[in-house]
Structure 1
Amino acid sequence: MAEVTHALSDVLDQLESSIHGESIAVTEVIEKLGTHSFASLMLVFSLISTSPASAIPGITTVVAVVVFIMVVQMIAGRNCLWLPGFITRRRMSSEKLCKGIGWLRKPVHFVERFLKPRLTFLFHRPWLWLPLILILCLTLFMPFMEIIPTSGSIASAVIALFAAGLLTRDGALVIASLVLLSGVPVAVWYFGFGG
């Protein structure tokens, strides 16, 4: 149980330990977490876009592309992540990344207290395909969300919720992410353009 409850903090620790110098390349993050760790990588990239590190120009679009490619490969049943060079070579500010990780520590510690394996049938096909397809659709809209303040961060937070559920085998988080995934595009459109 300890491994499950600290899984999210462990991912943040791994990300933090990969940071060095003034900037870090996307490929260095992937190498640190491992190309087989789809859940960890999805969690990290979506959390980066949720945190103050989202102030890095274009980060929401980069995260959207990474998650889109990742989800396509998950649906296809691949065991090892592949990303194109123009993504893996992109660099992020170490200072902003560290600030983002520090900001995420408290909410992650809070959430971890309630996590446990449950409703694990949701992590098998065909159940798993539903949230993956919804995330796939959401990532197509995320680049446009850069023009609406905080909307990209909200979308990324919902993806992070799903990834956290996947990482900790907590089906309750997956159900919560499903509900939010269905509502995010509508909410963003209404508050961004409808009002």
Structure 2
Amino acid sequence: MADEQTHALSDVLDKLEEAADGDSITIGNVVEKLGHKSFAALMLIFSLISTSPASAIPGLTATVAVIVGLLVAQMIWGRKCVWLPGFVTRREMATEKLCKGIGWIRKPVQWVEKFLGERMTWLTHRPWLYLPLVLILGLTLFMPLMEVIPTSGSIASAVIALFAAGLLTRDGAVIAGSLVLLLTVPVAVWWFGFAG
């Protein structure tokens, strides 16, 4: 394991916490803080927010699905800088709820970081990245519908966060694990939520 990667995910949380100033924070503020080239970090942070208790906010899962979908589409297209439409960047989140969500996910993130490091790095490059990216794009199309099935949106977001963590830390093994989950989660959600 590469020691310099150990706190990569916590560093992203720290940056978001630093940006949470005042009563609310816009999506645009988050993008500015994390950087317009930080596709993996932005995907990680928004998917983690959707796995935290903050996901109970009505419409949050759908908003995260739109953001992640746009990020993934741009990654597939090969864009170098993040672009989000104004109606997304202007959306506000209450900083109190956001900070509570960050506090809730910080311990699990710190635990996961112990197992992350550079390995199987060839999976972090094209063309190998296209398959998980396409699967995530497909998953985001269904995430707004998942709001009617308790916890399903959070599970989908957790899988996306796992992929983003692997990409951010250049851990191909984690990306491979997320790929397996990306193939099984939609089937499981459909089976237990609609067919069951």
TM-score by length of 2: 0.98
The Cα of 1:96 is off from its aligned counterpart by 1.1
- Give the 5 Å matches for 1:132-151: 132-151=133-152
Shift of 1:91: 0.3
- Unmatched segments (≥5 aa) in structure 2: none
SS at the partner of 1:86? helix
Tell me the distance in 2 between the aligned counterparts of 1:93 and 1:2: 34
Q: Tell me how far apart the structure 1 counterparts of residues 33 and 4 of structure 2 sit (CA, whole Å).
A: 19
Counterparts of 1:167 and 1:194 in 2: how far apart (Å)? Answer: 36
SS at match of 2:48: helix
Listed one character per residue, the Cα deviations across residues 62-88 of structure 1 (whole Å, up to 9, x for unaligned) are 110001111111011111000000000
Equivalent pair of 1:56/1:93 in contact (CA under 8 Å)? no
Runs (4+) of structure 1 exceeding 3 A deviation are none
Residue ranges of structure 1 left out of the alignment (5+ in a row):
none
Equivalent position SS for 2:159: helix
Q: Distance in 2 between matches of 1:8 and 1:2?
A: 13
Displacement of 1:190 in angstroms is 1.0
**CA RMSD across the alignment:** 0.7
Paired position in structure 2 for 1:172: 173
Is 1:106 matched up with 2:107? Answer: yes
1:2 shift after superposition = 3.2
Percent of pairs with identical residues: 72
Task: Report the Cα distance in structure 2 between the residues aligned to 1:96 and 1:53, rounded to whole angstroms.
Answer: 6
Matched residues in 1 for 2:56 and 2:32: separation?
Answer: 24
Give the superposition deviation at 1:22.
Answer: 1.5
Could you say what secondary structure the match of 2:173 adopts? helix
Match of 2:37 in 1: 36
